[in-house]
Structure 1
Amino acid sequence: MTADRPLWFDNPAIRIELWPALGETLLMTVFATAFAIIVGLPLGVWLYMTAKGSLTDNRMVYRIVSTVVDIGRSIPFIILMIALIPFARFVTGSALGWQATVVSLTVSAIPFYARLVEAALREVAAGKIEAVQMMGADSWQLIRQVLVPEALPGLLSGATVTAVALVSYTAMAGAVGGGGLGALAISYGYQRYQTDTMIACIVLLVACVALLQLAGDLLARSVDHRQ
Structure 2
Amino acid sequence: MTSERQDIHNSDIPLLCRSCEARHQGMCGVLNPQELVELARHTHKARHDEGAELIGDSTEIRSYANVMRGVVKLSKTLEDGRQQVVGLQFAPDFLGRLFGHENVTNAQAASPVELCVVPRPALERMMAANPALEKRLLRQTLRELDEARDWMVTLGRKTAGEKVASFLWLIATHLDPAGESSDGAEFDLPLSRADIGDFLGLTIETVSRHMSKLRQAGVIAITRNRHIEVPDLEALRNCCG
**Bin for the TM-score computed over the shorter chain:** under 0.3
TM-score, with structure 1 as normaliser: 0.27
Q: Which has the higher helix share?
A: 1
**Structure (1 or 2) with the larger CA radius of gyration:** 1
TM superposition score normalised by structure 2: 0.26
- Larger strand proportion, structure 1 or 2? 2
